[in-house]
Structure 1
């Protein structure tokens, strides 16, 4: 605050204090009350110097003091020897001081109101100017916690994820239990899954169940055109969370700021990522702050972000299975009058995520209202299904024939992966990849097994249908890429310096071996297909049981 402004405020305050003190001194009745006998004694002794009469009291001034006696106790005859002054209690000085005080306060209030109005005008003009000069800049706002009203009961079909997160919730509620045992919770939890599966809702549900503040930020909000702004916002976010610990920080679409550093210069993004890494290293597991992040592109994240001590717990949120879709549909249909079998709707929505199912229910309800129907029926869902499909890109919606091809394709992959003991837990009919990409070192036999897994879906479809679908492109590309690395980079071909035909020969040999293996396991392949068509998911343990029966 400028010194002149401080001096001006001090003068105003001092003036008001002086006026109030003067008014207090003038209005204060400091006369001592006396009895009628005491008043008569003063009059007899002729020690009275002045007599003042008011409506309530008669004031007597003597050499020794100032006294008062109620007017009702005295009579005019007592003061016949004295000149009595009559006070009508209208001291002009008092009124003047009160007027000055009133005007001063009014002037101060007016100046404050005028200054506030001018500040609002200047702020508005400055905001418009900044908006015109830097439309992409972020307005500096205080980071505040969001009160989450989403519970796990509001989300259907996430039983597996809920089990994973119950430990986090218990830690937020009872941190001393873990601290006394010498255990610490992970600093970061990474939710990985395709768009629309409810990653943000899951994070909000965790905050709601734990009863702690929830700080939401998107990864894109950290990416600024001005150097240093993204890093500053990361620091402010973590500072607010630590101040209100225990709390949860949720960073949505973290891949926007946490991409791999590939050497191409992007000072602002790298500075923001470095700040995020520093902040996650800067608080202990006992601080009560847990970072939850969501992404659908884990393969593009920087390895420093994924190492232990940062995001050291990963939870994969997949597209819902048939049973999970039933649970999700029941949630969305709670307040919608309907007359339908939810199982039929779940069966016709293979590949739908939670957001697509919500849109489907809403579109069906709107259609029923437009047609003035009292209930939503299966016909309404069938009429709006195409509308939801074409409005939702990148969602794989399957008809019956496509579903059969997908079941055979996925069955071939899961049987070969289990046969060669490739690490995975569960395969779903809607999965694009059975296992995530990894940079771990492998021996030649392990790499060949992975190539066979990528080719197994194509081989299974060729065996059963003598053709395969275009969805095999991604697996085929990975198989080609891995074979190329084996020959050109790892020296795993017939020689350390392979010729041009080496890759084709290796790919052809591995496909033929995969084809022979699946032909010998047609019974297992059929059982796995049936399970996928019925449940749309199967675990590695189940496939291993089928293999043990024939091997």
Structure 2
């Protein structure tokens, strides 16, 4: 809905334009017109030459002096409240008048401004201007066109959830059967979960399934500065929906509207929530209306809003699993031309994007497509997808490493991470690179796996991999750089979690003493660091081959990293540790 209609816009512009011109003309006429400008000395000479005449000297608040002599007006400027004026009056014995402002000009300007305000008020009362409560209440109450989408078109949603949603909608689509079986129609559905998981798409598909008019808004649209606007919007929204049944009212980010009330409340937001609760279940005729709300923060919602009778069904829309991500990938690759190696690696892509939402997967293919188009291709290559994944995880590509000494150090650091990862968990490296991206000068990208319960040995191997960069720098360059600070924090978090949960290789035990916790963490740290140093020493040839390859190529695929790590050590090999 446009804030101001075209007719109202024209009227408003004309009124403001005319008012501005009239005010300017009036001000100039009354304030600056009708006098010849002279200096103060010249005015004194004129008064002196007519000292016997009855003269009237006028002064305004801004220091303007004016006098009329022989039907000719003269004006000059002095400092406001100057003693020169008093001396002039006393010396020549003339009449004196002081004016704080030009009353005529003030009245005219006030009248023009009043006319403009009355015009705006009339337009506002007629609803031509959507300002204040009378206009704002309509902004969230218009039907929204629906995309051509069904539940089957949405990927990443578990089949069990789709079946349960379909059963819920079946009751809504057959109210007569539900009435015969004494089943009440569902009034409200809550969709909650992380951002980008398809909650809005689900709401649209549900509306499409039952052939309903779709009213869509956000929780923030009901929160306004004006008293009563939020509650008025809620009433108007439900009133309009009752005229267009069957109807679906969808409110996204509902936590902005239905947050838990404070103990000593009474502010405007709580009044809006109260109106929503009344409209949902307060003796209102809501037959044919399905209320759907979505949020990322269910924990913030008010208990009265969540109770059955208002919200009858709650669905947790989680991040997709491997199968769900594969469905989403199929949807977003439909109609795109993929290189053979990309088409063959989609299953691997689904496995390696654990933790990605549907929106992020969609963004991957959009980014990859834009990169291909920028390079004059219609075919999406594997390096396009790799670029998109790295950009999603780490951000934009930063500056290149022109300093050869820094580039060598980063190559050694990242090769340490890659080597230990490939040894302790073969096949876990997706790529290693020394091209800076985001805040990182280089990085080793792992192949993400689905939910996995790590053991104590796996966690220690992970700590060894994290520490490998700094230890490799120390072994080959004599000391490590400040670049290990992030690695140390990651290792510390894992070790602290192991000690706090009692996950040890030699058994399960809990430690409650702070000093003992720190001692245990130090022991585990030393154990992981010793293992890293041993592996780097034992695989010195492979490590140096990896450093040289990474320094030269700047980016190595995971398969190439694994191949180098598994190279046999020649008998005549010379290493530098």
- Taking structure 1 as the reference length, the TM-score comes to 0.50
Q: Which has the larger radius of gyration?
A: 1
